[in-house]
């Protein structure tokens, strides 16, 4: 099958390569001329035979919106546009409605697999009209992992990215659990082989998973993770998952806590914890850590000017 691929970064480039290895005719466009097959989107569309299929793999938000808008002016009745990035499912519905007026189909695909997808395949969560999905099935079959699983036509437009959003929310919670478990093991001298413990869990346990494999790999490369800084960004899908939980009145305590933990990782000195420390000092005379160069202040600190605690149990 012939397909256009817009965005040839880590994911898009590897997906294009996997499709080529499977015998598909891929015409790729990227802003980097070193990896692009064409000079612009207009040339990309000209190179494709109707009915065309164009897969967009660019960052979500404004870059995707701008790309979809530009392609809408170039594609024709019967063509299909695929958004395989991490777009919000509500954007999918807007794009689908806008393109439908021109007879252009729209399919949203949540893609998971990361840098390992080239060799192992990509898990695909698809949303769209069954006719458009069927048109793209040769591509989906080549991209997915071998075997029965790894692909789902999750529902109408938006369902693919909604499923991927929830997938990533679950991923947040799982990663946070592994992280907290690692920190607890490292905090004591009871377990002397932390890396070996994680490695042992890869077989025969109920928590064995690809994420656990990656934990073991990371600890093998850097046993105490000393080469890393405890800072974790979020891609946006964790936030969207929490918001969707609020919108649908579904409690998501684990996913929400994992998202907030990432926010906390970006604070070298938490403003909120400053207030907590100040309040504990005020009502209970509990010791607080002062700014570097100043002395610790607390109930037993020399010169501490603290009123008697109102509630000694606080």
Two tokens, residue 170 = 């679950």
Q: Is 171 a catalytic residue?
A: yes
Q: What are phi and psi of 172, to 5 degrees?
A: -55, -50
Two tokens, residue 310 = 């109102």
Residues 45 and 74: beta-carbon distance below 8 Å:
yes
Residues 6 and 44: beta-carbon distance below 8 Å:
yes
Sheet holding 80-83, edge to edge: 25-29, 2-6, 53-56, 80-83, 105-112, 123-127, 151-155
From 144, 164, 237, 297, active-site residue: 164
List, as one string, the DSSP characters of the chain: -EEEEE--SHHHHHHHHHHHHTT-EEEEE-SSTTT-SSSSHHHHHHHSPSSPEEEE-S-TTHHHHHHHHHHHTT--TT-EEEE-S---HHHHHHHHHHHHTTT-EEEEEEEE-GGGHHHH--EEEEES-HHHHHHTHHHHHHHSPSSS-SEEEEESTTHHHHHHHHHHHHHHHHHHHHHHHHHHHHTSSS-S-HHHHHHHTTTTSTT-SHHHHHHHHHHHHSTT-TTS-S-----SHHHHHHHHHHHTT---HHHHHHHHHHHHHT-SS-HHHHHHHHHHHHHH---BPPPTTS--BSTTSTT---PPPS-TT-
Q: Is 183 a catalytic residue?
A: no
From 171, 229, 237, 297, active-site residue: 171
**Residues annotated catalytic, as ranges:** 164, 171
């Amino acid at each position: 099958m012939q397909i256009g691929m817009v965005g040839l970064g880590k994911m898009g480039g590897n997906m294009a390569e996997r499709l080529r290895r499977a015998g598909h005719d891929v015409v790729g466009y990227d802003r980097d001329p070193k990896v692009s097959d064409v000079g612009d989107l207009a040339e990309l569309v000209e190179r494709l035979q109707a009915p065309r299929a164009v897969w967009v793999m660019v960052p979500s938000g404004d870059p995707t919106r701008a790309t979809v808008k530009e392609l809408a002016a170039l594609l024709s009745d019967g063509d299909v546009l695929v958004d395989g990035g991490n777009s919000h499912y509500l954007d999918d519905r807007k794009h689908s409605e806008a393109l439908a007026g021109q007879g252009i189909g729209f399919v949203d695909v949540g893609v998971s697999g990361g840098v390992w997808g080239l060799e192992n395949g990509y898990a695909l969560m698809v949303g769209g009209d069954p006719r458009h999905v069927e048109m793209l099935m040769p591509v989906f079959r080549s991209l997915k992992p071998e075997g029965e699983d790894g692909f789902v036509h999750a529902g109408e437009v938006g369902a693919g990215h909604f499923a991927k959003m929830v997938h990533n929310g679950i991923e947040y919670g799982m990663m946070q659990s592994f992280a907290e478990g690692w920190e607890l093991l490292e905090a004591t001298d009871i377990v002397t082989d932390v890396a070996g413990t994680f490695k042992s869990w890869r077989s025969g346990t109920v928590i064995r998973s690809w994420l656990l494999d990656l934990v073991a790999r990371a600890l093998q490369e850097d046993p105490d993770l000393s080469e890393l800084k405890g800072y974790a960004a979020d891609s946006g899908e964790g936030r969207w998952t929490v918001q969707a939980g609020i919108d649908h009145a579904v409690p998501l305590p684990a996913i929400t806590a994992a998202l907030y933990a990432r926010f906390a990782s970006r604070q070298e000195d938490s403003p909120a914890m400053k207030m907590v420390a100040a309040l504990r000092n005020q009502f209970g005379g509990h010791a607080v850590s002062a700014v570097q160069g100043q002395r610790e202040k607390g109930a037993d600190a020399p010169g501490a000017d603290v009123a008697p605690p109102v509630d000694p149990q606080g």
